[in-house]
A = this chain, B = another copy of it.
Amino acid sequence: MAQPEHTADAGPGAEPAGLVIEGCAALVHGPGGEVAFAEDAGIVIRGGAIAEVTSAAAAARVPAVERIDARGQVAMPGLINCHTHAPMVFLRGFAEDVPVEEWFNDWIWPVESNLTDRDVELGALLACAEMIRGGVTTFADHYFAMDRVADAVTDTGLRAVLGLAYFSSQGAEGRERSLEFALSRAGDADGRITTCLAPHAPYTVTDADLAATARLAREHGLLVHLHAAENREQTETSLARHGRTPIEVLERCGLLDTDVLIAHGTGLTGADIALLGRAPAAGVATAPRGYLKFGWDPTPVRALKEAGVPVGLATDGAASNNTLDVWESMALTALVQKSAERDATWATARQVLHHATAQSARVVGLGDRVGSLAPGRRADVILVDLTGPHTQPVHDLAATLVHSARAGDVRTTVVDGRVLMRDRQLLTVDVPAVAAELAPRLAALTERGHGRRIQSYDT
């Protein structure tokens, strides 16, 4: 166990801290970035940032506006959902037990032609509530009516990396509106909102549009967030049609020279992984639940690690994944990766916690701002209660967190130093009101008799 630093208290006359958390174990990163735990620790938060991680005794001497007694709990960096379509919670459980082509063409894309801005905002609010309750403090969203998602982020207090999705079937307007959103909302919500460009995928966006997106990303210093090599079939189809894998298409369009966040990558080839390894700022988001459901391969995490590509955790949208539970993605990543490699010694609890913290922060382009309980980082902190019978006794904190604890064990969620949930009570969203307004809208939202759809899935 690493020992927390013992530092002097701020002394008489110092400004009180905004928030002090006392008496917890704290997940910290060692000198080589490795996951470690400081026992009996205290966390001092000033101006929405972590001022110090110290001993509980030292923290107890720091005057503060607000204090949390966190004995029996573990403080860790808030989880990061590296790829989701948050508003889609309104379709949770709507299209089940069907293959991906049918899921897109007969269920999702027809009903998405019914979407109103208010549907999107209600979905985003419900999603934010779910994520705050599950210890998610940042999410990377890729969807429509993104201004409304930005409003929900502003209201609920979460941090988000937002991109307005587009298809080439929308003409130049799709790409232009994605840029317009990215430029207009960057830095909103006191800096909690960052933005990106969000082409849908190489199979729905032309090479010309992808190349234009790469140029715009470089010009404006923006991240690009898109789906690519989602499954093996997409890779095979791309090879058959274009003689290139989806990743080779991205490379040719210049997207691997930008900050790029690739969702899924379960169809990556060895050559693709080598390309990603040479890219300066490429990351992959893995959402294992949906891959199991659709019968896809897992993301090749071991090969990506060997190539030096960070892999972050994600849930995808709840229409396919049923939850926005990144805690479950963490456990499933450990389980599925051990299974895929047939190696019980791989994907250790500490490794998976590294994906959940430092690597996820890098993947969404916030590697210097969140993902670690370290001085200077924004104060995105969650407190996890380990006193329940399902988490007792504790032989090893990492194993308990990854394999026994659940999203429901998160008692307190803090973003930018502000408490969004305390002792399981949500402080910024009224779930019953949102659910009550959403319920009567579902009939119109899920109407499929009109024969329209926003796009066709043909990999």
Contacts and interface: CB of A to CB of B under 8 A. Distances in A.
Contacts of A292: 335-336, 338-339
A334 to B, nearest CB: 8
Nearest to A394: B93
A439 interface: yes
B439 A393 contact: yes
Interface string A384-405: 0001111111111001100110
Interface stretch (A129-137, A177-185, A191-199, A371-379): A129-137
Pairs A-B, 9 closest by C-beta atoms: A322-B403, A93-B399, A295-B342, A408-B408, A292-B335, A129-B389, A130-B389, A292-B339, A94-B395
A344 B442 contact: no
A438 interface: yes
Please give the count of copies of this chain that the complex contains.
2
A399 B91 CA distance: 12
B295 A339 contact: yes
Nearest to A404: B322
Nearest to A392: B435
Contacts of A406: 325, 406-408
A324 B389 CA distance: 10
B100 A295 contact: no
Contacts of A439: 393
Contact of A126 (B335, B344, B392): B392
A342 B99 CA distance: 10
Interface of A: 89-94, 96-100, 103, 126-127, 129-130, 133-134, 289, 291-296, 318, 322-325, 334-336, 338-339, 341-346, 348-349, 387-396, 399-400, 403-404, 406-408, 429, 431-432, 434-435, 438-439, 442, 446
B293 A400 contact: no
Nearest to A100: B344
Contacts of A289: 335
